[in-house]
């Protein structure tokens, strides 16, 4: 086998708006394994009612034909989720726009971002046509490099739709002013919509804050984000989590500039000024080097 750093690997992160129904979660996972794709991570958060899967596949060349198993696995997982989950019955403290909320492709090893972007557009066209769901492309998969954050803001992702600061039921969102790239121009309330993108590696980490003051936590999140004048390449939101506790949930867009320990330090600094205690930061996925290592071990054990 080639050294990991030279291998052509493609990684897909798939986020599903369900974590409390184990049968659904296992059914989605099962169809991925039937396509001989390695799931290197599954992160289930019942309070957020959200599950993420990290899939990795190898190709011998940069041809998209070599990614057919991954394409089929992702499409089958999305179809299973859309068939089994009704967004109108969903309830959770984490924002979402659809049953399949977010799909993100990364190149790993010697693979290229262009290949990941092509894969995005191919899968988006298939899902939009076959499963009748509006698809919004972003990052390298979008012709103008539109950001995920901008799509979410335009579509009200950051605004809970209940008095209890929960995301409950269908979106009640008019998408006529933000035309999807693929799929229908109207939302099926049982399915919602899907964002699909390609980018260099994005890390995800959460910092627990022992306070039920969500507005305070949102302000902390804003202060540590790049947009709020905080850490470069960091996007952050404040979200309710366990009873009496909230979290600062972060995307780390450039791990060479900022990693999770720096986020922890900055949140601690902000909270110390407010007299609020902080829990230990945790990653919701492995780092790129860990992902590739886990993939190789899985392949060698087959």
pLDDT tens-place string over residues 58-84: 876 666 656 788 899 999 999 999 999
Q: Which of 47, 48, 15, 59 is nearest to 295 (CA)?
A: 59
Residue 14 in contact with residue 100, Cβ under 8 Å? yes
pLDDT of residue 5: 47
- What is the percent of the chain where pLDDT is above 70? 95
Annotated catalytic residue within 94, 102, 106, 241: 94
**Catalytic annotation on 94?**
yes
- Quick check: 296 pLDDT over 80? yes
Per the prediction, the chain carries an average pLDDT of 92
pTM for the structure as a whole: 0.93
SS3 62: coil
């Amino acid at each position: 086998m080639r050294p990991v750093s030279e291998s052509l690997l493609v990684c897909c992160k798939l986020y599903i708006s369900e974590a409390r129904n184990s049968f659904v979660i296992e059914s989605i996972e099962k169809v991925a394994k039937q396509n001989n794709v390695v799931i290197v991570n599954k992160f289930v958060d019942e309070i957020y009612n959200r599950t993420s899967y990290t899939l990795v596949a190898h190709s011998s060349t940069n041809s998209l034909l070599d990614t057919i198993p991954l394409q089929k696995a992702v499409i089958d997982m999305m179809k299973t989720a859309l068939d089994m989950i009704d967004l109108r019955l969903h309830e959770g403290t984490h924002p979402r726009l659809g049953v399949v909320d977010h799909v993100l492709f990364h190149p790993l090893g010697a693979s290229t971002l262009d290949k990941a972007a092509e894969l995005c557009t191919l899968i988006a066209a298939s899902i939009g046509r076959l499963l009748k769901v509006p698809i919004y492309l972003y990052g390298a998969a979008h012709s103008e490099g539109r950001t995920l954050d901008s799509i979410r803001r335009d579509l009200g992702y950051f605004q809970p739709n209940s008095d209890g600061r929960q995301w409950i039921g269908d979106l009640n969102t008019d998408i006529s002013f933000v035309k999807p790239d693929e799929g229908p121009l109207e939302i099926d309330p049982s399915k919602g919509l899907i964002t699909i993108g390609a980018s260099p590696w994005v890390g995800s980490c959460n910092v627990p804050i022992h306070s039920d003051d969500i507005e305070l936590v949102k302000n902390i999140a804003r202060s540590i984000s790049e947009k709020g004048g905080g850490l470069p390449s960091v996007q952050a939101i404040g979200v309710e989590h366990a009873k009496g506790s909230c979290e600062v949930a972060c995307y780390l867009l450039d791990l060479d500039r900022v990693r999770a320990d720096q986020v922890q330090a900055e949140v601690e600094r902000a909270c110390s000024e407010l007299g609020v205690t902080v829990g230990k930061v945790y990653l919701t996925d492995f780092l790129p080097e860990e992902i590739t290592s886990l993939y190789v071990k899985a392949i060698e054990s087959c």
